[in-house]
A and B are shown apart, each in its own frame.
Chain A
């Protein structure tokens, strides 16, 4: 049986794919390699995991002014996720997605969800989402 949740749309788009749920915040600049799509932060519990083509669900990002560049570069290279869903809104991730769509025509929606919705997605396997932020999983 499918469940549904409504997210706040930070950057719109439709996507569908396997869910990758991260235990801890991720830095898209320094903690992640856009060339490979792999989490390289040795302190991250999912270090070594590839985020490419996933619906990436994470609690937050670790702050860095380099975040938009890391996100845009991954989308450009095709190593990025299909969508990014965060429990804490981050303008930097949205900016990276917006710039990538403008420059390369590649869409990676960015959504914000509540902490309880984040927790409820821990064991979700697949998800589809609509441009208005409706998540089915």
Chain B
């Protein structure tokens, strides 16, 4: 199956073992994956976002230790996704369990392998990352979707170990979203029936992404029109929701995203194979798929899936400054150390903590032990959190806007901005 794969001298030398057993094994994995994926050649990659640092069992630790002891080190920038535990927030660590010990050991191993330990699922919020046209290797689903769509960098969705193998060798199979053909839009989402007022609300992007995930299948979707002024937080929301609800790895927002200045460019001159009408009804259906609970008292508000950005902090602070979150309700904000430090410099972290919020870094709220004890109703502004949490945590979820989440945290029960949901009940 790999007879037709063309390897350059560099790759052939790795495969022979000229650069040691770690790179030999890594290249064997890349070569076999290329065979399965039908690639005829490999493409050099200049950046990796490593997902295998997220503990899922002893095999993850054994793999990283094997690579480290066999002499492997990342030579391209390799940034880490979230860990299963936070190395910074002492209180939410749980060192008593084997899982927490393994998770910490695994995170340490990836640091020793030469990763930049950013511990974030939103690496695109940090400076110095990849740019338009760069071939990269990413495993985290929302980051795959964001880098492809919003940045115009090129990556397939790499599973655990293959992300490390590609990152260590600096090569990936040339196929799928690394090629022009694989990136072309195929299915059009027509949003002309959606009122303009709704298109300016943060909930719209979460709902639209969910609709795209539910209807795109394996095709690359394009939104018929996306305001050029729409910010990165909205692109993050669409990326994360579409990836969670249906596995979308690349999408186009015509008029906004870099490969879609117009419809013809996005579709490479071809017609859409399908057109899906986005209406108030389809958005309402998406809203219902993100809500498993009726409104009522809430135990927790979860913000920051994917990680909360600097601009999201800027929106949240005026909503909570000088107020007090209901003592029966926890408000968690997941973010990266980098963004937390920026928020702290502005005095925002302090203001939010005074209001009773807790900022969690390095991990996701739905994996942290503090949140795992939660059994009641949870409100979130993140479609991705709402999509996964009922299954992963067994909690009931209410989806709402950032403002609704903040007001609800203060009140201790779900508060609705009725005007926002007109037509979406």
Contacts and interface: CB of A to CB of B under 8 A. Distances in A.
A103 B56 contact: no
B29 A34 contact: no
Interface of B: 1, 25, 28-29, 32-33, 35-37, 51-52, 54, 56-60, 62-63, 66, 139-141, 157-163, 165, 247, 391
Contacts of B29: 95, 98-99
Nearest to A70: B56
B268 to A, nearest CB: 25
Contact of A92 (B56, B59, B66, B159): B159
Contacts of B140: 65
A8 B62 CA distance: 29
B58 A95 contact: no
Interface in A6-46: 8-11, 29-30, 34
Contact of B161 (A30, A63, A64, A95): A95
A73 B57 contact: yes
Given A66-B54, A92-B160, 4 more contacts: A11-B32, A95-B162, A99-B161, A103-B63
Contacts of B141: 65
Contact of A66 (B25, B32, B56): B56
B59 A94 contact: no
B66 A102 contact: yes
Given A65-B141, A65-B158, A69-B56, A103 B62 contact: yes
Given A69-B57, A73-B58, A89-B36, A95 B1 contact: no
Interface string A80-96: 00000000011110111
A89 B38 CA distance: 10
A72 B33 contact: no
A39 to B, nearest CB: 15
Q: Is the interface of A mostly helix, strand, loop or mixed?
A: helix
Given A69-B57, A100-B59, A63 B247 contact: yes
Given A72-B59, A103-B59, A66 B160 contact: yes
Contact of B160 (A65, A76, A89, A100): A65
Nearest to B141: A65
Contacts of B35: 10
Nearest to A41: B391
A68 interface: yes
Contacts of B51: 65
Contact of A94 (B33, B58, B62): B33
A63 B159 CA distance: 9
Contact of B1 (A9, A90, A103): A9
Interface in A53-82: 63-70, 72-73, 76
Contact of B33 (A30, A34, A91, A100): A91
Closest 8 CB pairs of A and B: A73-B57, A92-B159, A72-B59, A69-B56, A91-B36, A91-B33, A65-B159, A73-B59
Contacts of A103: 59, 62-63, 66
Contacts of B161: 68-69, 72, 95-96, 99
A99 B33 contact: no
B162 A91 contact: yes
Given A9-B1, A65-B140, A95 B62 contact: no
A87 to B, nearest CB: 14
Contacts of A90: 36
A29 B56 contact: yes
Contacts of B66: 102-103
Contact of B159 (A11, A67, A104): A67
Contacts of B163: 65
Contact of A68 (B28, B159, B247): B159
A8 B36 CA distance: 10
A49 to B, nearest CB: 20
B389 to A, nearest CB: 13
A102 B57 CA distance: 16
Contacts of A63: 157, 247
A68 B32 contact: no
A92 B37 CA distance: 10
B36 A10 contact: yes
A69 B25 CA distance: 17
A68 B51 CA distance: 12
B56 A94 contact: no
User: Quick one: which of A9, A89, A94 has the most chain B CB within 10 A?
Assistant: A94
B227 to A, nearest CB: 31
Contacts of A99: 29, 59, 63, 161
Interface in A99-129: 99-100, 102-104
A114 B184 CA distance: 28
A128 to B, nearest CB: 22
